[in-house]
Protein backbone atom coordinates (compact mmCIF):
# COMPACT_ATOMS: atom_id res chain seq x y z
CA UNK A 1 0.00 0.00 0.00
CA UNK A 2 2.86 2.40 0.71
CA UNK A 3 3.38 3.98 -2.71
CA UNK A 4 7.09 4.77 -2.89
CA UNK A 5 8.64 8.23 -2.93
CA UNK A 6 8.44 10.07 -6.25
CA UNK A 7 6.32 7.48 -8.04
CA UNK A 8 3.16 9.52 -8.51
CA UNK A 9 3.00 12.41 -11.00
CA UNK A 10 3.10 15.83 -9.34
CA UNK A 11 -0.57 16.63 -9.91
CA UNK A 12 -1.68 13.28 -8.45
CA UNK A 13 0.53 13.71 -5.39
CA UNK A 14 -0.89 17.18 -4.76
CA UNK A 15 -4.47 16.07 -5.45
CA UNK A 16 -4.38 13.18 -2.96
CA UNK A 17 -2.79 15.43 -0.34
CA UNK A 18 -5.59 17.97 -0.75
CA UNK A 19 -8.18 15.17 -0.57
CA UNK A 20 -6.71 13.71 2.63
CA UNK A 21 -6.08 16.98 4.49
CA UNK A 22 -9.69 17.71 5.62
CA UNK A 23 -10.05 14.23 7.12
CA UNK A 24 -6.83 14.64 9.08
CA UNK A 25 -7.92 18.06 10.38
CA UNK A 26 -11.40 16.91 11.41
CA UNK A 27 -9.94 13.75 12.91
CA UNK A 28 -7.62 15.80 15.15
CA UNK A 29 -10.62 17.70 16.47
CA UNK A 30 -12.47 14.42 17.10
CA UNK A 31 -9.53 12.94 19.01
CA UNK A 32 -9.10 16.05 21.19
CA UNK A 33 -12.81 16.01 22.02
CA UNK A 34 -12.75 12.29 22.83
CA UNK A 35 -9.71 12.57 25.11
CA UNK A 36 -11.12 15.66 26.81
CA UNK A 37 -14.35 13.81 27.58
CA UNK A 38 -12.74 10.46 28.42
CA UNK A 39 -9.07 10.95 29.36
CA UNK A 40 -8.87 7.34 30.59
CA UNK A 41 -8.91 6.22 26.94
CA UNK A 42 -5.50 7.76 26.17
CA UNK A 43 -3.75 4.45 26.77
CA UNK A 44 -6.10 2.56 24.46
CA UNK A 45 -5.61 5.21 21.78
CA UNK A 46 -1.85 4.70 22.04
CA UNK A 47 -2.31 0.94 21.69
CA UNK A 48 -4.39 1.44 18.52
CA UNK A 49 -1.70 3.72 17.05
CA UNK A 50 1.10 1.27 17.94
CA UNK A 51 -0.89 -1.61 16.43
CA UNK A 52 -1.24 0.28 13.13
CA UNK A 53 2.44 1.26 13.13
CA UNK A 54 3.74 -2.26 13.75
CA UNK A 55 1.44 -4.07 11.32
CA UNK A 56 1.84 -1.58 8.50
CA UNK A 57 5.62 -1.70 8.87
CA UNK A 58 5.67 -5.41 7.95
CA UNK A 59 6.06 -4.95 4.21
CA UNK A 60 6.21 -7.46 1.38
CA UNK A 61 7.21 -6.15 -2.09
CA UNK A 62 4.43 -6.24 -4.68
CA UNK A 63 6.62 -5.35 -7.70
CA UNK A 64 4.33 -2.42 -8.54
CA UNK A 65 6.24 0.45 -7.01
CA UNK A 66 4.31 -0.34 -3.87
CA UNK A 67 4.16 -3.08 -1.24
CA UNK A 68 1.75 -5.34 0.62
CA UNK A 69 1.30 -5.51 4.38
CA UNK A 70 -1.44 -5.57 7.02
CA UNK A 71 -2.77 -2.09 7.79
CA UNK A 72 -3.84 -2.33 11.43
CA UNK A 73 -6.35 0.50 11.09
CA UNK A 74 -9.45 -1.61 11.69
CA UNK A 75 -8.78 -1.87 15.42
CA UNK A 76 -8.59 1.88 15.99
CA UNK A 77 -11.51 2.59 13.65
CA UNK A 78 -13.81 0.30 15.66
CA UNK A 79 -12.60 1.64 19.01
CA UNK A 80 -12.52 5.38 18.26
CA UNK A 81 -14.34 5.84 14.96
CA UNK A 82 -12.91 6.20 11.45
CA UNK A 83 -12.15 9.92 11.69
CA UNK A 84 -9.71 9.35 14.55
CA UNK A 85 -7.60 7.07 12.38
CA UNK A 86 -6.90 9.78 9.77
CA UNK A 87 -4.45 11.78 11.94
CA UNK A 88 -3.16 8.62 13.62
CA UNK A 89 -2.52 7.05 10.23
CA UNK A 90 -0.89 10.26 9.01
CA UNK A 91 1.58 10.19 11.91
CA UNK A 92 2.25 6.47 11.40
CA UNK A 93 2.91 6.94 7.68
CA UNK A 94 5.05 10.04 8.24
CA UNK A 95 7.29 8.25 10.74
CA UNK A 96 7.60 5.24 8.43
CA UNK A 97 8.54 7.47 5.49
CA UNK A 98 11.17 9.31 7.54
CA UNK A 99 12.58 6.45 9.62
CA UNK A 100 12.00 3.31 7.53
CA UNK A 101 12.08 4.65 3.96
CA UNK A 102 8.64 3.04 3.72
CA UNK A 103 6.41 5.10 1.46
CA UNK A 104 7.41 8.72 0.93
CA UNK A 105 6.69 12.37 1.58
CA UNK A 106 5.41 13.19 -1.90
CA UNK A 107 3.10 10.16 -1.79
CA UNK A 108 2.04 10.71 1.84
CA UNK A 109 -1.37 12.11 0.89
CA UNK A 110 -2.17 9.15 -1.36
CA UNK A 111 -1.05 6.66 1.28
CA UNK A 112 -3.05 8.44 4.00
CA UNK A 113 -6.14 8.38 1.80
CA UNK A 114 -6.01 4.63 1.15
CA UNK A 115 -4.83 3.35 4.55
CA UNK A 116 -6.03 5.97 7.04
CA UNK A 117 -9.28 7.11 5.41
CA UNK A 118 -10.77 4.46 3.13
CA UNK A 119 -9.69 1.55 5.35
CA UNK A 120 -11.09 2.92 8.65
CA UNK A 121 -14.36 4.10 7.11
CA UNK A 122 -14.76 0.69 5.47
CA UNK A 123 -14.06 -1.08 8.77
CA UNK A 124 -16.60 1.02 10.65
CA UNK A 125 -19.28 0.62 8.00
CA UNK A 126 -18.78 -3.12 7.55
CA UNK A 127 -18.88 -3.70 11.32
CA UNK A 128 -22.16 -1.81 11.64
CA UNK A 129 -23.74 -3.67 8.72
CA UNK A 130 -22.60 -7.04 10.07
CA UNK A 131 -24.01 -6.25 13.52
CA UNK A 132 -27.29 -5.08 12.03
CA UNK A 133 -27.51 -8.45 10.27
CA UNK A 134 -27.10 -10.16 13.68
CA UNK A 135 -23.58 -11.44 13.03
CA UNK A 136 -21.65 -12.27 16.20
CA UNK A 137 -19.19 -9.80 17.67
CA UNK A 138 -16.17 -11.87 16.52
CA UNK A 139 -17.48 -12.38 12.99
CA UNK A 140 -18.29 -8.67 12.68
CA UNK A 141 -14.78 -7.69 13.82
CA UNK A 142 -13.18 -10.20 11.44
CA UNK A 143 -15.15 -8.96 8.44
CA UNK A 144 -14.49 -5.33 9.31
CA UNK A 145 -10.72 -5.70 9.72
CA UNK A 146 -10.09 -8.07 6.82
CA UNK A 147 -12.32 -6.33 4.24
CA UNK A 148 -11.02 -2.90 5.26
CA UNK A 149 -7.52 -4.22 4.58
CA UNK A 150 -8.55 -5.41 1.12
CA UNK A 151 -10.38 -2.18 0.29
CA UNK A 152 -7.26 -0.22 1.20
CA UNK A 153 -5.44 -2.10 -1.56
CA UNK A 154 -8.32 -1.67 -3.98
CA UNK A 155 -7.90 2.07 -3.39
CA UNK A 156 -4.15 1.89 -3.97
CA UNK A 157 -4.80 -0.02 -7.20
CA UNK A 158 -7.18 2.75 -8.29
CA UNK A 159 -4.58 5.39 -7.45
CA UNK A 160 -1.85 3.66 -9.43
CA UNK A 161 -4.14 2.84 -12.36
CA UNK A 162 -5.31 6.45 -12.51
CA UNK A 163 -1.70 7.67 -12.52
CA UNK A 164 -0.48 5.04 -14.99
CA UNK A 165 -3.26 3.91 -17.36
CA UNK A 166 -2.46 1.08 -19.71
CA UNK A 167 -1.52 2.31 -23.22
CA UNK A 168 -4.06 -0.05 -24.78
CA UNK A 169 -6.67 -0.90 -22.15
CA UNK A 170 -6.66 2.39 -20.27
CA UNK A 171 -7.64 2.69 -16.62
CA UNK A 172 -9.58 -0.60 -16.45
CA UNK A 173 -6.73 -2.75 -17.75
CA UNK A 174 -4.23 -1.00 -15.50
CA UNK A 175 -6.47 -1.43 -12.46
CA UNK A 176 -6.89 -5.15 -13.19
CA UNK A 177 -3.11 -5.52 -13.42
CA UNK A 178 -2.35 -3.72 -10.16
CA UNK A 179 -5.22 -5.36 -8.25
CA UNK A 180 -4.27 -8.85 -9.38
CA UNK A 181 -0.65 -8.38 -8.27
CA UNK A 182 -1.73 -7.11 -4.87
CA UNK A 183 -4.26 -9.92 -4.44
CA UNK A 184 -1.54 -12.61 -4.44
CA UNK A 185 -0.11 -11.35 -1.16
CA UNK A 186 -2.97 -9.31 0.25
CA UNK A 187 -5.78 -11.86 0.54
CA UNK A 188 -3.92 -14.08 3.05
CA UNK A 189 -2.60 -10.98 4.84
CA UNK A 190 -6.12 -9.58 5.15
CA UNK A 191 -7.39 -12.86 6.59
CA UNK A 192 -4.50 -12.89 9.07
CA UNK A 193 -5.20 -9.29 10.10
CA UNK A 194 -8.87 -10.09 10.61
CA UNK A 195 -8.05 -13.03 12.87
CA UNK A 196 -5.48 -11.06 14.86
CA UNK A 197 -7.93 -8.20 15.39
CA UNK A 198 -10.53 -10.67 16.66
CA UNK A 199 -7.98 -12.07 19.15
CA UNK A 200 -7.25 -8.56 20.47
CA UNK A 201 -10.91 -7.63 20.75
CA UNK A 202 -11.71 -10.89 22.49
CA UNK A 203 -8.97 -10.13 25.02
CA UNK A 204 -10.39 -6.64 25.56
CA UNK A 205 -13.90 -8.03 25.91
CA UNK A 206 -12.72 -10.65 28.40
CA UNK A 207 -10.59 -8.43 30.62
CA UNK A 208 -12.27 -5.04 30.20
CA UNK A 209 -15.81 -5.54 28.82
CA UNK A 210 -17.14 -2.37 30.45
CA UNK A 211 -14.92 -0.19 28.26
CA UNK A 212 -16.18 -1.85 25.07
CA UNK A 213 -19.75 -1.50 26.33
CA UNK A 214 -19.09 2.19 27.04
CA UNK A 215 -17.95 2.52 23.40
CA UNK A 216 -21.20 0.86 22.24
CA UNK A 217 -19.24 -1.99 20.68
CA UNK A 218 -20.25 -4.83 22.98
CA UNK A 219 -23.77 -4.98 24.45
CA UNK A 220 -24.12 -6.32 27.96
CA UNK A 221 -23.84 -10.14 28.09
CA UNK A 222 -22.95 -10.34 24.40
CA UNK A 223 -21.35 -13.61 23.35
CA UNK A 224 -17.92 -13.19 21.79
CA UNK A 225 -18.34 -15.90 19.16
Cβ of 4: how many Cβ atoms within 10 Å? 18
| pLDDT tens, residue by residue, 8-28 | 999 999 999 999 999 999 999
Residue 106 has pLDDT above 80, yes or no: yes
Q: What's the confidence (pLDDT) of residue 47? A: 87
| pLDDT tens, residue by residue, 32-69 | 999 999 888 888 898 899 999 888 887 776 655 566 78
Which domains are seen in the chain, by residue range?
A: 10-214 (1.10.1760.20)
Q: What's the confidence (pLDDT) of residue 85? A: 96
Residue 81's pLDDT band, with cuts at 50, 70 and 90, is very high
d(CA 106, CA 14): 8
Residue 221's pLDDT band, with cuts at 50, 70 and 90, is low
- Rounded to 5 degrees, what angle do the CA atoms 125, 181, 63 make? 120
Cα separations (Å) of 176 from 13, 85, 163, 172?
Answer: 22, 28, 14, 6
At a CB cut-off of 8 Å and minimum separation 6, what does 66 contact? 1, 2, 3, 4, 7, 156, 160, 182
Partner residues linked to 67 by β-bridges: 61
Amino acid sequence: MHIMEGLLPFEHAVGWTIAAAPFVAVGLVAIKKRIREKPEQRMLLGVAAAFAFVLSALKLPSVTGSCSHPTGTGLGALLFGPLAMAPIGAVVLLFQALLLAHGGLTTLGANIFSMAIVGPFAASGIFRVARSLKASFAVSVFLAASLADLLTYVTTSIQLAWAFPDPLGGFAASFAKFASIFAITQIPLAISEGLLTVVIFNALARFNPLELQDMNLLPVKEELV
